[in-house]
């Protein structure tokens, strides 16, 4: 048990890709966990294996609405509240921009007030998108960003910036103990095939034998962090007991171009797909790489899963997800997996 303290954690957005992986690790550490999710983008299948887990409970609700009274019951007194509740991929968060903005503002306010009432530590998962299309590279937490506040991504970018502002206001006023993580591109098992992110897009297109779509000329860069490393970073940040650290970047500082990623996936899957270029979306960042000096210094954290290992686990996951298509069976067999792999677990339960 981290820090020797029993945990009773609320995970808003716990049915999502990162949230469900976080729940698994918290349960492995002995915590009691409640997942709060509206299933707008989260998936019930991500939680199906917890159906008979006595230390897990699921509450279906949308955090833009008043929180269910059951969350404030004395027996539910939480020690830790994680806010991962927002669609994180452009096609999903742009589909209902008003809901995206309200999730970040009203939803964060509801959870902060719950943390205040219960004396729980609160962690907001913010995003590298607060840096916009950056003019500073790599991006340190001190960089204030280059965000288009009226563009199609603003509902998410500015929503997260507002959520950060609200969180730090609660901290300054001593209303809640707050931690803020700025998450950079994360990938791994339990991603949605339709989320529009570059890793899931490329992997699924390669496995299906479809054309692989590159937006722009492929020279734009990203830094990809495997989900196990990200979960470890979130847990370390939540458990950090020092003075208010401010926002903390969590991501992999190894930078590569989108074209490089496509080449790696095609080699791994044996795909002979054709690469098709499409126009770059509005406000899509040209370069993205975190400066993780703060996370290293304060948390002793840095990613440990290399891209090859992470991609192998991710491809195996999607191959298993799509195994009903007979054309994908050879790929899954070649990777030695026909079940639904969770990928390499780098976080020990006794950590």
In this predicted structure, the answer to whether residue 336 has a pLDDT above a threshold of 90 is no
Q: Sort 37 into a burial class: Cβ within 10 Å, 0-12 / 13-18 / 19+.
A: buried
CB neighbours of residue 309 within 10 Å: 15
User: What is the tens place of the pLDDT at every residue in 121-164?
Assistant: 999 999 999 999 999 999 999 999 999 999 999 999 999 999 99
Average pLDDT, the chain: 90
280 band by pLDDT with thresholds 50, 70 and 90: confident
Say if residue 350's pLDDT is above 80: no
pLDDT of residue 90: 85
Task: Give the up-direction half-sphere exposure of residue 9: CA atoms within 13 A in the CB hemisphere.
Answer: 32
Burial of 272 (0-12, 13-18, 19+ CB in 10 A): exposed
What is the percent of the chain with per-residue pLDDT over 70, rounded to a whole number?
A: 91
For 336, the token pair is 């030695």
282 falls in which pLDDT band (50, 70, 90)? confident
The pLDDT of residue 324 is: 53
Closest CA to 316 of 295, 297, 337: 337
Q: What is the pLDDT of residues 221-238, one digit of tens each?
A: 999 999 999 999 999 999
* Tokens read off for 260: 């490089």
Do residues 59 and 68 make contact, with C-beta atoms less than 8 angstroms apart? yes
The pLDDT of residue 303 = 98
The sign of the CA dihedral 180, 289, 277, 202 is negative
Q: Is the confidence at residue 49, as pLDDT, over 90?
A: yes
Predicted confidence band of residue 194 (pLDDT cuts 50, 70, 90):
confident
pLDDT at residue 286, as a whole number: 85
- At residue 346, the pLDDT reads 29
Q: Angle between the 198-208 and 307-321 helix axes, to the nearest 10 degrees?
A: 60
What residues act catalytically?
156
Q: Give the whole-number percent of the chain exceeding pLDDT 90.
A: 79
CA distances from 163 to 33, 85, 110, 125, 211 (A): 23, 12, 11, 9, 38
What are the tens digits of pLDDT across the range 5-23? Answer: 689 999 999 999 999 999 9
Contacts of 20 (CB under 8 A, 6+ apart): 14, 42, 46, 47, 190
Whether residue 139 contacts residue 288, with contact meaning beta carbons closer than 8 Å, is answered with: yes
């Amino acid at each position: 048990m981290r820090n020797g303290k029993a945990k009773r954690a609320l995970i808003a957005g716990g049915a999502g890709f990162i949230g469900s992986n976080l729940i698994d690790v918290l349960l492995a550490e002995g915590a009691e966990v409640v997942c709060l999710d509206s299933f707008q983008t989260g998936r019930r299948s991500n939680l199906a294996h917890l159906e008979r887990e006595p230390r897990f409970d699921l509450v279906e609700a949308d955090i833009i609405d008043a929180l269910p009274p059951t969350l404030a019951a004395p027996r539910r007194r939480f020690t830790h509240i994680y806010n991962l509740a927002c669609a994180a991929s452009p096609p999903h968060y742009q589909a209902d921009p008003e809901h995206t903005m309200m999730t970040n503002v009203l939803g964060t306010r509801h959870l902060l007030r719950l943390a205040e009432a219960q004396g729980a530590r609160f962690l907001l998962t913010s995003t590298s998108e607060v840096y916009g299309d950056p003019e500073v590279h790599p991006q340190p937490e001190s960089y204030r960003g280059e965000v288009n506040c009226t563009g199609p991504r603003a509902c998410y970018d500015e929503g997260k910036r507002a959520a950060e502002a609200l969180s730090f206001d609660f901290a300054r006023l001593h209303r809640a103990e707050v931690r803020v993580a700025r998450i950079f591109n994360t990938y791994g098992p339990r991603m949605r095939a339709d989320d529009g992110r570059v890793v899931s897009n490329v992997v699924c297109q390669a496995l299906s034998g479809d054309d692989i779509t590159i937006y722009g000329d492929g020279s734009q860069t990203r830094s990809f962090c495997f989900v196990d490393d990200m979960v470890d970073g979130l847990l370390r940040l939540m458990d950090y007991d020092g003075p208010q650290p401010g926002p903390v970047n969590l991501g992999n500082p190894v930078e590569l171009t989108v074209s490089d990623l496509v080449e790696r996936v095609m080699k791994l899957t044996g795909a002979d797909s054709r690469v098709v270029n499409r126009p770059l979306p509005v406000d899509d960042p040209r370069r993205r790489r975190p400066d993780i000096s703060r996370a290293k210094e304060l948390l002793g954290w840095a990613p440990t899963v290399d891209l090859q290992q992470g991609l192998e686990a991710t491809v195996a996951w999607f191959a298993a997800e799509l195994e009903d298509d007979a054309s994908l069976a050879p790929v899954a067999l070649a990777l030695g997996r026909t079940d639904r792999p969770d990928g390499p677990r780098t976080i020990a339960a006794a950590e």
